[in-house]
Structure 1
């Protein structure tokens, strides 16, 4: 009886992030399936932002390089784009997703990321993800970046390949400078051995992770990919 009643009077759709009912919108995009309260807590990175690392540039009138990218020499990572500023609500979503069993958030986060990738107009050849060390994988049970990359690859119709593997764990990086992080991460990644390895020559790789902080992890991954023959390396993250 309840099933028939629900068919006649279906319940209102629920927010993809907090599950509260939302009013049916006029569109069918991902933002139409997120409630107003959650949308207020998701600070999109909009122009002007650094054309290299996606850092917001405040009141500047046109896109340019941020002070950090102007000071830093060119590195193997060609460009990063992030969806949101790493403020309280995005930080909480990532915490729930990675550490509190809310893995169901992955498709929504991936869809928000895919939307930015498509809007950016990147022409990548393959999507991959930042690997985690096997010890961390056993502890957590899944790689959060891999789950996101799978969803993004499906939405943008690009092949997903596990191009890299992590061979050395690193201590927590939160209190280290970018230079210290780069030193600590040196040699932490390598190309995945056959048969997982793919030909990288003349290919542009889009590498996915949840958060971009100093960019050190992405730079080290990009270095390994470029040394393996990749033509270009772009990174896509949920928060910056």
Structure 2
């Protein structure tokens, strides 16, 4: 599980609109501005991170969407912060159904076994503090499932930085 989490905003109003435009409206240009806000909101976590890792999409979803919004945000945060971004240290091996509309328990079950650290990536993660990047935190199920895989893969610590969160308690 991740240790700490930070987000720029609550997932409502303008923040929700920005995420939807980026994710579903092909507004990739918004990624840079969103990443700038994430870099500011997550400054403490970034200062302690050795590596940025975006939450990966399953190959089928990546093919359908044509880009991974978490990877887009992570690359921009990396450019702004100077912390390296590794898009190959975590893979999504299970094609999960969309999380929208699922309960907390259903989300956790849906993501069980969804992520894996490839053997070749384990030396890159060994003993490192990883900052996991995603667009939205809802229940924390995705962040927790991805963090568990990263920790099993050798990471020393995993924190989570997202653009928006559903709950004020995530920060």
The TM-score, its normalising length taken from structure 1, stands at 0.65
Which structure's residues are more often strand, by fraction? 2
How far did residue 154 of structure 1 move? 1.2
Residue in structure 1 matched with residue 107 of structure 2 by the alignment: 181
Pairing 1:172–2:93 present: no
- Runs of 5+ in structure 2 lacking a partner? 166-171
Deviation at 1:78, TM superposition (A): 0.6
Query: What is the CA–CA distance in structure 2 between the aligned matches of 1:92 and 1:193, rounded to whole Å?
Result: 38
Matched, 1:93 2:12: no
In 1, Cα distance between equivalents of 2:80 and 2:13: 27
The 3 A distance-change label for structure 1 pair 85 and 141 is same
Q: Show the 5 A alignment for 1:219-230.
A: 219-230=144-155
Q: Alpha-carbon deviation of 1:193? A: 4.6
Choose from 125, 132, 136 the match for 2:61.
136
Give distance in 1, aligned partners of 2:16 and 2:157: 29
Gaps of 5+ in 1: 1-75
Q: Could you tell me how far apart the structure 2 residues matched to 1:91 and 1:133 are?
A: 23
Residue 178 and residue 122 in structure 1: after superposition, are their counterparts in 2 closer, same or farther (change >3 A)?
farther
For residues 87-127 of structure 1, give each alpha carbon's deviation from its aligned partner in whole angstroms, at most 9, with x where no partner exists. 12111111111111211011100100011122556401100
Distance 1:199 1:148 in 2: 21
Normalising by structure 2, we get a TM-score of: 0.90
Match of 2:32 in 1: 107
Say if 1:90 and 1:197 are closer, same or farther in 2 by CA, change over 3 A: same
Residue range with higher mean Cα deviation, 201-210 or 184-193: 184-193
CA distance in structure 2 between the partners assigned to 1:223 and 1:126 by the alignment = 16
Shift of the 96–181 alpha-carbon distance from structure 1 to 2, 3 Å rule, reads same
Q: Map Cα deviations across residues 123-180 of structure 1 (whole Å, 9 max, x no partner).
A: 0110010000111111111100000000001111111112101111111222222222
Residues 123, 115 of structure 1: CA spacing in aligned structure 2 closer, same or farther, 3 A cutoff?
Answer: same
